Amino acid sequence: MLQGSIPQELIERGRALGLEPPPREGDHGRAATSAAAAPGGPGCSIRPAAISDAATISAMCVRVASAQIDTSGFTPVGRSTLFEDILGEAAILGELQGGAVEAFVCVMDGAIVGFAARKRPLGAEAGAPLSHVRHMYVERSGAGIGKRLWGELHFRFEEESVRRVTANSSANAVPFYERLGFRKEGGESDAGGLLSQLMVYTMDADGE
């Protein structure tokens, strides 16, 4: 499906958020490899994550998490959960193979420098389909990569009439999510020694 098949109303709503519609290919509505001059800089391309990317994605995410997430408050079990059960190669491979997530990578100069994945719509809350940002990791900060990856997810939420999107954020990533329009819900939670902040994005608020 080409970009032109996206309803113009959705494109305009996305642009009001500073997002450009992602390039598409085939009938699955997924991004084609594109090095367009867009936020993220020349040579930055977004494409669907492939199973063969699992090891590279895992290594990049572990580097980013090690550098940017303060795990001093995590228990040993919590750190193991993050670096092995969530970001380990086997965990990433299982998610890509299982089909429960739709995932994208950003490639610059031949290297994967960003990774985002969302769970497919989970159901309904008061009639509103839900989805969840499972992963959002960017190795080159300040290049607009996170915003481009969010744009890729955002247009899929629009197409599927998703109205509520959640994300479990580390403390350092809360400002990033807030810039995208997410808000905190509740306080920091401790799930088995893994600390996170629930962030919520309401799609209905886009047009307000």
Q: pLDDT-derived band of residue 44, with 50, 70 and 90 as boundaries?
A: confident
Cα separation of 131 and 124, whole Å?
9
Q: Among 141-150, 177-186, 195-204, which range has the highest average pLDDT?
A: 177-186
Average pLDDT, the chain: 81
Q: What is the pLDDT of residue 132?
A: 93
In this model, does residue 78 exceed pLDDT 50? Answer: yes
Q: What one-character DSSP code corresponds to residue 81?
A: I
> Is the pLDDT assigned to residue 128 strictly greater than 80?
no
CA–CA separation, 46 and 30 (whole Å): 10
Going from the C-alpha of 38 to that of each of 92, 149, 171, 196, the distances in angstroms are 28, 12, 28, 31
Number of other residues whose CB lies within 10 A of the CB of residue 101: 19
Taking the model in full, what pTM does it have?
0.77
Return the beta strands (E) in 49-110 as ranges: 101-108
pLDDT computed for residue 140 by the predictor: 83
Bridge partners of 105, per DSSP, are 47, 115
Given a cut of 50, whether residue 131 has pLDDT beyond it is: yes
